[in-house]
A and B are shown apart, each in its own frame.
Chain A
Amino acid sequence: MKPFGYLRARSAEEAVREHAAHPGALFLGGGTNLVDLMKLGVAAPDRLIDISRLPLDHVADTEDGGLRIGATVRNSALAAHHSVRTRYPALSQALLSGASGQLRNTATTGGNLLQRTRCAYFQDTSKPCNKRQPGTGCPALDSAQRDLAVLGHSTHCVATHPSDMAVALSALDATVHLHGPDGGRTVPATGFHRLPGDTPDRDTEIRPGELITELVLPPRPEGAASLYRKARDRASFAFALASVAAVLSVRGGRIEHAALAFGGLAHRPWRARTAEDLLRGAPATEETFERAVDAELAAARPLRENAFKVGLARNLAVDALAELAADS
């Protein structure tokens, strides 16, 4: 880690202004991933702009019954928030299934969204990696690693996005609010993270110098319930082998609203639009769930050691939908 300057920003505007003046700078939130990456030599900012004390730690209802979540709200506070637990349980559960109690106390909402892949090659600066150093190659592609993508990967990158929270946000149709040198803009969570294509160095659609200020959740669809399910190697404190966030409402035996997103399968949370199209209006039966999920996962292209993820994700999703249907 090379020496760096440090500035504690007093406002989002100041943070963005400072960044514009120092393009080698990075924003520091909780730092649970950034400091980790700096120690690994993967991130090497020449200045940190500390945004962790900005007044962005609000969780508040929107006028239409949605929820605004400030970028610096700590993961544990968000998971414990009454509105999140009662109206968006998938988000609370996703947060609680990730990391550890200590990390959740430190990690911020914005930082969680921006955390980077745990692909072993990305984290090791002695090896090639197109994400870390474009053009050097992707040794993961032919490796015996299991924790790689089965959907949406390219010959340039087969990494997966590690966040649980982002998967729930995708299924919950959250909006990411950004503040940048050119003012504010919003990006839907489903479009915030990218597929690797031939530019895997870019994880998200965020532009240089933009700061996440808040996330906004739309009102919960009427009658909809949600949950998050995750499978992992260890009973706790492990990244997902595969995970799913599901939102479902059923009326008179038929599915009204359905949203499904997978974690651990792709370079971004994988919103299952194909499955959702088949779910909406169909009878809420096991057969429907299986057919819909299978249709989504038909696009999967497993690598050497990770074909199990397809069946695993399928079972997680079908069971999650069945559990929600049974509740409604």
Chain B
Amino acid sequence: MSQAPSPLGTPVVRREGRDKVTGTARYAAEHTPPGCLYGRPVPATIARGRVDAVHADEVLALPGVHAVLTHHNAPRLKEPDDPILAVLQNGRVPHRGWPVALVVADTPEGARAGAEALRITYETDGHDVLLTEDHPGLYTPEIVNGGYPAVRERGDTDRAFVTAPVQVDATYSVGALHNHPMEPHATTARWDDDGHLTVHDSSQGSTTVRDSLATAFGLRPQQITAVSEHVGGGFGSKGTPRPQTVLAAMAARHTGRPVKIALPRRQLAAVVGHRAPTIQHIRLGAELDGTLTAIDHEIITHTSTIKEFVEQAAVPTRIMYGSTTSRTAHQVVALDVPSPSWMRAPGEAPGMYALESAMDELASALGMDPVELRIRNDPGIEPDSGRAFSSRGLAACLEKGAARFGWYDRDPRPASREEGPLLLGTGVAAATYPVYIAASSASAHAAADGSYRIRVNATDIGTGARTVLAQIAADVLATPVDNVRIDIGSSELPDAPLAGGSSGTASWGWSVHKACTLLLRQLRERTGPVPADGLTVTADTQQETAGQSPYARHAFGAHFAEVAVHSRTGEVRLRRMLGVFAAGRILNSRTARSQFIGGMTMGIGMALTESSTMDPVFGDYTENDLASYHVPACADVQEIEAHWIDEEDPHLNPMGSKGIGEIGIVGAAAAVGNAVRHATGIRLRSLPLTPDTLLPYLL
């Protein structure tokens, strides 16, 4: 075997790219088995109460309608692992938009017409949907999302704060946000005569879908095949199955025919999750030289009445900056709102907006450069745990970013640069994201012709999973990348965790690495040719991933942004943005750059355009389509660059990689907000920075 140069880190072209640019890549709703019916969920039109009556007969009389599923006739489920999946089990309406019926027809047009025509009456209870700072229902949960404790305290933070010579005391708020992947959530389900269920599901992990359906339907996992071959983005909202998966399986069982459900865009806001709004109170105390002595970060957020999901926004504050005292706490209230869930960098994205805005305020109060302030407080050990960092590249990212961006060319005084009616400014913010890793299994097969085949139930939601896994395998096997075939996206493959928490490549990759390493050993140990049917090795990383690392492991980054604020309209346009990241070893420079920039772009949306408003009267999010929920358009994204520093970290996984899918959004909104403050002198503490929020200060 000749020693090929390692493919790791090289810009290998996306494997499925050709299928995607030619339109042949098939997504969940693009499987239409013979006899397939179409399902359309009917959302509740009250915010709280019970279904009184469903006039299904009228709809069943419509041409082409096969079934109307309601809580009266839908298949009974065992208790699902996620309460959002317990649909059509009883008449309770926990929030507006909750599916209360499903119309199944032989065409999509028929299903839509049936769903529209379905008359439902309700018994309505009063509802409570507005998050306020002093809501009487607020309580401190035990843990927050990610399994972290809700409260951590070191030292006497109150005392340290009041005695600090320089203080920042501010409240920031981030409203609800929605993931809105371009592919709406969809499932095609069919049951075989032998009771085997097959679903094509738009999900971030089909092993998880299989297991979740097995729990809900009381099946053994082997009785279910879940396929997620191509997935049109998820950003957390497809992390675990959403109601359409269960509804499609129910409807297919009920009708005895395959059933396809593609959720209408306008239904997504209520049923697939959202980033919960946060009200964040931050107090920073510092010495005159900028050394932090007190950090206090308190989160107020909401969850639904059917499950407790607590956006862990204060958690990044536990690891960011050194301080002799620190307090981080979360409070939550259960409201009659849709269930919140993961949205790209849950916790870090909103939390770092607040912390990094506060750091900018502190720099202003100190008259200190904000890059310098952050480096001054860069801790040697993880402040919360006292553990050593496996690697911490924050200072390096700040320094490299500042140099590349031309940061020090700025006049630090606010509102000091004009260009006609435009006010120009620059801002910086730090980023961080934890290293997560989960156990995975994979198989590696050596064929007699010298080629290899890797099987692992990874999911490609746009990250380029196939490509990077092929690189990892090729690297171990010392073979050209093209000599490795990768099979992913089906629960028939070796079990693997979902694409989430920026952990996919590390988790799947480790099992691929291990399987390939074992295969290579067998190949080297044996004499004679590979047998005609090849050699296969299966490996899992249960052991390697069990237990906590003795090291604190996080990726870091720094964002630099330049904005132009129109002094007459309040319109903010991003001129350029530059991010530098320290995320271990970058395994594919091409796809990694795309992911970093993608995260930064979502951060631009968070900063400038995206917002979901809870309607207090009706209990739903008003911006429920893509005309009103403004994800950034092409014209919103001008010059944007992502760079990274080479980080050698031996405490991660055999590839030496940290996750990169989420860190790009973390801190991005703060950098933009800080740039707006620099441009205008106006410090706004809520997002997004739309003309209505800025203009009153500019007039």
Which residues of A come within 8 Å of B, CB atoms? Answer: 1-3, 39, 41, 118, 120, 125-127, 139, 142-146, 231-239, 241, 305-309, 311-312, 315-316, 319
- Contact among B113, B615, B692 for A146, CB-based, below 8 A: B692
Assess the A237–B633 pair: CB atoms within 8 A.
yes
8 A Cβ contacts from B556-574 to A: 566, 568-571, 573
Task: Give Cα distance in the complex from A97 to B616, angstroms.
Answer: 33
Assess the B618–A139 pair: CB atoms within 8 A.
yes
For chain B, give the interface size range. Answer: 35 or more
- Contact among A125, A144, A305, A315 for B569, CB-based, below 8 A: A315
Q: Closest approach, in angstroms, between the C-beta of A181 and any C-beta of chain B?
A: 31
- 6 cross-chain pairs, A with B, having the tightest CB-CB distances, nearest first: A236-B635, A235-B635, A315-B568, A126-B45, A231-B569, A308-B692
Q: Does B416 interact with chain A (Cβ within 8 Å)? A: no
Point out the residues of chain B lying under 8 angstroms from A308, CB to CB: 570, 691-692, 695-696
Q: Does B411 interact with chain A (Cβ within 8 Å)? A: no
Q: Closest approach, in angstroms, between the C-beta of A102 and any C-beta of chain B?
A: 13
Assess the A231–B691 pair: CB atoms within 8 A.
yes
Assess the A316–B113 pair: CB atoms within 8 A.
no
Q: Does B613 interact with chain A (Cβ within 8 Å)? A: yes
Q: Closest approach, in angstroms, between the C-beta of A48 and any C-beta of chain B?
A: 14
Task: Give Cα distance in the complex from A2 to B630, angstroms.
Answer: 30
Point out the residues of chain A lying under 8 angstroms from B627, CB to CB: 118, 238-239
**B688: nearest residue on chain A (CB-CB)?**
A233
Assess the B622–A311 pair: CB atoms within 8 A.
no
Q: Does B153 interact with chain A (Cβ within 8 Å)? A: no
**B117: nearest residue on chain A (CB-CB)?**
A2
Task: Give Cα distance in the complex from A318 to B480, angstroms.
Answer: 65
Task: Give Cα distance in the complex from A233 to B618, angstroms.
Answer: 25
Q: Closest approach, in angstroms, between the C-beta of A31 and any C-beta of chain B?
A: 15
Task: Give Cα distance in the complex from A146 to B628, angstroms.
Answer: 11
Given contacts A2-B116, A238-B627, A319-B568, 13 further A-B contacts (CB under 8 A): A1-B109, A118-B627, A127-B618, A142-B617, A145-B613, A231-B566, A233-B691, A234-B635, A235-B573, A235-B635, A305-B692, A306-B692, A312-B570
Q: Closest approach, in angstroms, between the C-beta of B668 and any C-beta of chain A?
A: 17
Interface centre among B116, B568, B569, B692 (most CB of A within 10 A): B569
Which residues of B come within 8 Å of A, CB atoms? Answer: 45, 63, 109, 112-113, 116-117, 421, 566, 568-571, 573, 609, 613, 615-618, 622-623, 627-628, 630, 632-636, 688, 690-692, 695-696, 699
Task: Give Cα distance in the complex from A41 to B118, angstroms.
Answer: 13
Q: Closest approach, in angstroms, between the C-beta of B121 and any C-beta of chain A?
A: 13
Known A1-B109, A2-B113, A126-B45; judge A234-B632 contact (CB<8 A): yes
Point out the residues of chain B lying under 8 angstroms from A316, CB to CB: 568-569
24 A-B pairs in the complex with CB atoms less than 8 angstroms apart: A1-B116, A2-B116, A39-B112, A118-B627, A120-B628, A142-B617, A143-B617, A144-B613, A144-B616, A145-B622, A231-B571, A231-B691, A234-B632, A234-B635, A235-B635, A235-B636, A238-B630, A241-B691, A307-B696, A308-B696, A311-B699, A312-B569, A312-B691, A315-B569
Q: Closest approach, in angstroms, between the C-beta of B265 and any C-beta of chain A?
A: 11
Point out the residues of chain B lying under 8 angstroms from A233, CB to CB: 609, 630, 688, 690-691
Point out the residues of chain B lying under 8 angstroms from A305, CB to CB: 692
Task: Give Cα distance in the complex from A231 to B566, angstroms.
Answer: 10
Task: Give Cα distance in the complex from A241 to B628, angstroms.
Answer: 12
Point out the residues of chain A lying under 8 angstroms from B616, CB to CB: 144
Task: Give Cα distance in the complex from A130 to B695, angstroms.
Answer: 31
**A234: nearest residue on chain B (CB-CB)?**
B630
Interface centre among B695, B696, B699 (most CB of A within 10 A): B695
Task: Give Cα distance in the complex from A315 to B699, angstroms.
Answer: 9
Point out the residues of chain A lying under 8 angstroms from B113, CB to CB: 1-3
Point out the residues of chain B lying under 8 angstroms from A315, CB to CB: 568-569, 699
**B110: nearest residue on chain A (CB-CB)?**
A3
Task: Give Cα distance in the complex from A126 to B117, angstroms.
Answer: 12
Q: Closest approach, in angstroms, between the C-beta of B297 and any C-beta of chain A?
A: 27
**B617: nearest residue on chain A (CB-CB)?**
A139
Q: Closest approach, in angstroms, between the C-beta of B176 and any C-beta of chain A?
A: 13
Task: Give Cα distance in the complex from A319 to B63, angstroms.
Answer: 58
**B632: nearest residue on chain A (CB-CB)?**
A234
Q: Closest approach, in angstroms, between the C-beta of A205 and any C-beta of chain B?
A: 27
Assess the A236–B569 pair: CB atoms within 8 A.
no
**B622: nearest residue on chain A (CB-CB)?**
A120
Q: A-side binding surface: helix, strand, loop or mixed?
A: loop
Q: Closest approach, in angstroms, between the C-beta of A128 and any C-beta of chain B?
A: 10
Task: Give Cα distance in the complex from A239 to B630, angstroms.
Answer: 11
- Contact among A144, A236, A241 for B633, CB-based, below 8 A: A236
Q: Closest approach, in angstroms, between the C-beta of B4 and any C-beta of chain A?
A: 46
Q: Closest approach, in angstroms, between the C-beta of B46 and any C-beta of chain A?
A: 9
Q: Closest approach, in angstroms, between the C-beta of B269 and any C-beta of chain A?
A: 12
Task: Give Cα distance in the complex from A57 to B633, angstroms.
Answer: 31
Point out the residues of chain B lying under 8 angstroms from A1, CB to CB: 109, 112-113, 116
Point out the residues of chain A lying under 8 angstroms from B109, CB to CB: 1
Point out the residues of chain B lying under 8 angstroms from A142, CB to CB: 617
Assess the B571–A232 pair: CB atoms within 8 A.
yes
Point out the residues of chain B lying under 8 angstroms from A139, CB to CB: 617-618
Q: Closest approach, in angstroms, between the C-beta of B525 and any C-beta of chain A?
A: 60
Assess the B695–A311 pair: CB atoms within 8 A.
yes
Task: Give Cα distance in the complex from A156 to B622, angstroms.
Answer: 20
Task: Give Cα distance in the complex from A7 to B460, angstroms.
Answer: 46
Q: Closest approach, in angstroms, between the C-beta of A220 and any C-beta of chain B?
A: 27
Task: Give Cα distance in the complex from A152 to B617, angstroms.
Answer: 25
Task: Give Cα distance in the complex from A239 to B629, angstroms.
Answer: 12
Point out the residues of chain A lying under 8 angstroms from B692, CB to CB: 146, 241, 305-306, 308-309
Task: Give Cα distance in the complex from A311 to B633, angstroms.
Answer: 26
Q: Closest approach, in angstroms, between the C-beta of B204 and any C-beta of chain A?
A: 27
Task: Give Cα distance in the complex from A143 to B623, angstroms.
Answer: 13
Assess the A41–B116 pair: CB atoms within 8 A.
yes
Task: Give Cα distance in the complex from A307 to B699, angstroms.
Answer: 12
Task: Give Cα distance in the complex from A144 to B573, angstroms.
Answer: 25
Task: Give Cα distance in the complex from A235 to B573, angstroms.
Answer: 7
Q: Closest approach, in angstroms, between the C-beta of B311 and any C-beta of chain A?
A: 22
Point out the residues of chain B lying under 8 angstroms from A146, CB to CB: 692
Task: Give Cα distance in the complex from A120 to B688, angstroms.
Answer: 19
Point out the residues of chain B lying under 8 angstroms from A143, CB to CB: 615, 617, 622
Q: Closest approach, in angstroms, between the C-beta of A126 and any C-beta of chain B?
A: 4
Interface centre among B109, B566, B609, B692 (most CB of A within 10 A): B692
Point out the residues of chain B lying under 8 angstroms from A312, CB to CB: 569-570, 691, 695
Point out the residues of chain A lying under 8 angstroms from B421, CB to CB: 319
Q: Closest approach, in angstroms, between the C-beta of A297 and any C-beta of chain B?
A: 13
Q: Closest approach, in angstroms, between the C-beta of B518 and any C-beta of chain A?
A: 52
Assess the B636–A236 pair: CB atoms within 8 A.
yes
Point out the residues of chain B lying under 8 angstroms from A236, CB to CB: 633-636
Point out the residues of chain A lying under 8 angstroms from B569, CB to CB: 231, 312, 315-316
Assess the B691–A118 pair: CB atoms within 8 A.
no
**A241: nearest residue on chain B (CB-CB)?**
B691
Q: Closest approach, in angstroms, between the C-beta of A187 and any C-beta of chain B?
A: 29
Task: Give Cα distance in the complex from A319 to B617, angstroms.
Answer: 39
Task: Give Cα distance in the complex from A316 to B568, angstroms.
Answer: 7
Task: Give Cα distance in the complex from A233 to B688, angstroms.
Answer: 10
Task: Give Cα distance in the complex from A125 to B618, angstroms.
Answer: 13
Q: Closest approach, in angstroms, between the C-beta of A1 and any C-beta of chain B?
A: 6
Task: Give Cα distance in the complex from A241 to B690, angstroms.
Answer: 10
